[in-house]
């Protein structure tokens, strides 16, 4: 019933397809499937998507390769949790007296670069693509790329790297129509970072809430409802969301920069690389809260307004604390300021635009308020100053008679305020001690936390907009600091070393639990389980999880130790000579292939 538009390029984030075709019933301990059936289902899915979109120029298939170290912490937590959940399901079924199949259950942790399963899948995909290019007319005349598990990088980010490389070519057509298939919500952010006018996302329909009816679960792609999200439409929604800013800014309203900021704000509620800020959760409207705050703050981020307020106005009002001010003096100052405001906002006097609107754009109080504020502060009338700033009626060009004779200065901070501040500080200290395991919370600790978290935000910006700028960097805590402690950061010098990606076996050792040790070569398995192993401590069989304000167990923080890279590589070096030639061949990188 709906006509699918013409697309030049189709990109598949393959891991979603692989997981969907290999273990569709994770909650069923009786489910079994052979590798041959998995491969057949994957090929059918690829063929169905190709025939649905019919790309005219490029078909790019990307499988997750070795990920940046920042991603491995999340992969590690997921794999430890999935192994424990699978074991619990089997034990519960046995406790109920159920007879389980004798065939071995598929371990989804094998969908990791360097395993025998991924090597077989790569070879099968190569054969499949060769066969389709040779026999299917639809596949001819299209550039077919296969970026397999041996090519470093997450699938979706390899896709974006390819799109950025296309855009950098002098003959790139800006009207190229892109379609990306994938289940990861990050694809929305990545698509928006491209600022491409024709960028769409294809994915299966997902229904939230309620129990799933297993009898109605789609078994094939033909039975599946697919959704096509045009990011051009989402860009329009983002414009309407932030349209109120268009007339409040003293600088040009630029939707592209608004979108960039919107993407950045999403980092603060957490992603695969950094934890969310304390008490900032999506299910508690954390994102709308950030957007509203952004709309309040952005109009104040104006260089002209800040320069005028800090330098020009300060000079104009120098000594006004002791002036014998008259109403005529205030009118002269107001006329002079109005002229300056029009100049800063490029507004002609004949446009009849209200001075109050110009001040709102620049986030500047009226000059009469500036005089009264200085006089109140000079005489130490803190309470009157607070009330004055809260109840400013913004009377342009008017100055009420100042009467300081009968007023009394209030205390700078009330006992109630001080108590709240102390209470909040005690709460934060307890958070840093219990969550981040600091013995004492000092200024140096808070400075360290600010540096680590700001570095994390910088790494994320690079990763989403320009590609990986450090393979070795990672966020070294399970929890984030408080936003109120991210202060004095303008002079931070952030240094990210590029490093290099892990080899496949190094990543397997970094992310797999001991329950999935059979996915590794035998010499490496002992490093996980033997008491004499120097890295055995990194593979606990029992571990805690912490919901940390989330609703679902799959969102919980998995409290396992972070792998020490130096210790890991040193331990692995002691058994490298025991690997067979075929195992060594699995442990390498290779570029993607063009057919």
- Residue 293 vs residue 378, higher pLDDT: 293
Is the predicted pLDDT of residue 223 greater than 50, yes or no? yes
Q: Which pLDDT value is given to residue 220?
A: 78
**CA–CA separation, 309 and 297 (whole Å):** 17
Q: Which pLDDT value is given to residue 236?
A: 96
User: What are the two backbone dihedrals, phi and then psi, of residue 407, each rounded to the nearest 5 degrees?
Assistant: -90, 155
**β-strands 143-147, 58-62 pairing:** parallel
Distances (CA, A) of 358 to 314, 347, 362: 19, 9, 6
Is the predicted pLDDT of residue 232 greater than 80, yes or no? yes
**pLDDT, average across residues 520-529:** 95
**CA–CA separation, 44 and 534 (whole Å):** 45
**pLDDT, average across residues 353-375:** 74
**CA–CA separation, 109 and 75 (whole Å):** 10
Tokens encoding 2:
């709906």
Helix (H, G, I), strand (E, B) or coil at 146: strand
Q: Which pLDDT value is given to residue 364?
A: 75
Least confident of 265-279, 406-420, 434-448: 406-420
Burial profile 199-228: b = 16 or more Cβ within 10 angstroms, e = fewer: bbbbbeeeeeeeeeeeeeeeeebeeeeeeb
**pLDDT tens digit sequence for 46-69:** 999 999 999 999 999 999 999 999
Least confident of 18-27, 28-37, 371-380, 474-483: 371-380
**pLDDT, average across residues 336-358:** 75
Mean confidence (pLDDT) of the chain: 86
Q: Report the chain's terminal Cα–Cα distance, integer Å.
A: 34
Q: Using only C-alpha atoms, what is the Rg of the chain?
A: 30
Q: Which pLDDT value is given to residue 303?
A: 60
Question: Kindly report the CA angle at 295 between 289 and 299, in degrees rounded to 5?
Answer: 150
Write down the pTM of the prediction: 0.81
> Which residues are CB-contacts of 132 (< 8 A; sequence separation ≥ 6)?
47, 139
Q: Which long-range contacts (CB under 8 A, 24 or more apart) does 345-351 make?
A: 345/250
User: 112 and 557 in contact (C-beta within 8 Å)?
Assistant: no
The DSSP string of 57-84 is SEEEEE---SPPHHHHHHHHHHHHHHHH
**CA–CA separation, 146 and 34 (whole Å):** 24
- Cα torsion for 443, 437, 499, 464, to the nearest 10°? -80
- Residue 321 vs residue 243, higher pLDDT: 243
Burial profile 160-185: b = 16 or more Cβ within 10 angstroms, e = fewer: bbbbeebeeeeeeeeebbbbbbbbbe
**CA–CA separation, 98 and 329 (whole Å):** 92
User: 485 and 446 in contact (C-beta within 8 Å)?
Assistant: yes
User: 46 and 519 in contact (C-beta within 8 Å)?
Assistant: no
**CA–CA separation, 522 and 75 (whole Å):** 22
**pLDDT, average across residues 453-471:** 96
**Count of Cβ atoms closer than 10 Å to residue 131 Cβ:** 12
> Which residues are CB-contacts of 224 (< 8 A; sequence separation ≥ 6)?
204, 205, 218
Tokens encoding 12:
């598949």
Q: Which pLDDT value is given to residue 382?
A: 47
Tokens encoding 580:
């067979």
Is the predicted pLDDT of residue 421 greater than 80, yes or no? no
The DSSP string of 346-386 is T--GGG---HHHHHHHHT---HHHHHHHHHHHHTT-HHHHH
**pLDDT tens digit sequence for 251-275:** 889 999 999 999 999 999 999 999 9
Distances (CA, A) of 336 to 302, 317, 496: 20, 12, 49
Question: Kindly report the CA angle at 13 between 64 and 17, in degrees rounded to 5?
Answer: 95
């Amino acid at each position: 019933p709906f006509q699918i538009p013409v697309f030049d390029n189709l990109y598949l984030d393959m891991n979603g397809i692989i997981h969907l075709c290999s273990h569709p019933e994770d909650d069923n301990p009786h489910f079994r499937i052979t590798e041959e059936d998995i491969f057949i289902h994957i090929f059918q899915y690829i063929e169905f998507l190709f025939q649905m979109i019919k790309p005219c120029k490029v078909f790019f298939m990307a499988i997750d390769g070795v990920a940046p170290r920042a991603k491995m912490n999340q992969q590690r937590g997921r794999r430890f949790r999935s192994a424990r959940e699978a074991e619990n399901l089997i034990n519960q079924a046995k406790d109920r007296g159920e007879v389980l199949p004798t065939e071995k259950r598929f371990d989804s942790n094998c969908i990791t670069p360097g395993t025998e399963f991924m090597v077989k899948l790569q070879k099968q995909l190569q054969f499949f693509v060769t066969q389709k290019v040779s026999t299917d007319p639809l596949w001819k005349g299209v550039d077919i790329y296969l970026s397999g598990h041996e090519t470093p990088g997450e699938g979706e980010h390899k896709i974006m790297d390819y799109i950025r490389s296309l855009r950098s070519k002098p003959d790139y057509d800006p009207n190229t129509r892109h379609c990306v298939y994938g289940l990861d919500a990050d694809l929305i952010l990545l698509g928006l970072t491209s600022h491409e006018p024709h960028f769409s996302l294809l994915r299966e329909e997902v229904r939230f809430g309620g129990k799933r009816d297993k009898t109605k679960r789609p078994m094939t792609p033909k039975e599946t409802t697919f959704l096509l999200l045009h990011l051009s439409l989402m860009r329009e929604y983002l414009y309407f969301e932030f349209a109120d800013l268009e007339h409040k800014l003293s600088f040009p309203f630029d939707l592209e920069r608004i979108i960039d900021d919107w993407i950045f704000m999403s980092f603060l509620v957490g992603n695969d690389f950094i934890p969310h800020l304390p008490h900032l959760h999506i299910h508690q409207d954390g994102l709308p809260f950030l957007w509203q705050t952004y709309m309040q703050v952005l109009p104040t981020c104006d260089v002209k307004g800040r320069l005028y307020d800090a330098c020009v106005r300060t000079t104009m009002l120098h000594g006004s604390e002791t002036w014998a001010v008259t109403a005529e003096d205030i009118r002269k100052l107001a006329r002079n300021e109005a002229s300056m405001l029009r100049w800063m906002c490029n507004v002609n006097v004949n446009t009849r635009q209200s001075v109050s609107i110009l001040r709102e754009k620049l986030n500047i109080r009226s000059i009469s308020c500036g005089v009264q504020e200085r006089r109140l502060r000079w005489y130490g009338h803190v309470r009157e100053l607070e009330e004055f700033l809260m109840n400013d009626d913004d009377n342009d060009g008017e100055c009420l008679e100042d009467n300081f004779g009968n007023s009394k200065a209030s205390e700078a901070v009330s006992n109630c305020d001080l108590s709240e501040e102390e209470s909040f500080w005690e709460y934060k200290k307890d958070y840093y001690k219990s969550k981040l395991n600091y013995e004492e919370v000092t200024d140096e600790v808070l400075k360290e936390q600010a540096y680590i978290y700001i570095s994390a935000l910088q790494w994320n910006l690079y990763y989403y907009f320009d590609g990986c700028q450090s393979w070795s960097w990672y966020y070294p805590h399970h929890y984030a600091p408080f936003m109120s402690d991210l202060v004095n950061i303008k002079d931070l010098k952030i240094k990210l070393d590029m490093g290099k990606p892990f080899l496949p076996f190094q990543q397997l050792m970094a992310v797999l639990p001991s329950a999935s040790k059979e996915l590794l070569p035998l010499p490496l398995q002992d490093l996980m389980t033997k008491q004499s192993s120097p890295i055995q401590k990194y593979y606990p069989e029992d571990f805690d999880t912490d919901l940390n304000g989330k609703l679902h167990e799959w969102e919980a923080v998995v409290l396992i130790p972070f792998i020490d890279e130096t210790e890991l590589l040193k331990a692995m070096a002691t058994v490298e000579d025991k690997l067979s030639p075929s195992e060594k061949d699995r442990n390498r990188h290779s570029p993607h292939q063009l057919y």
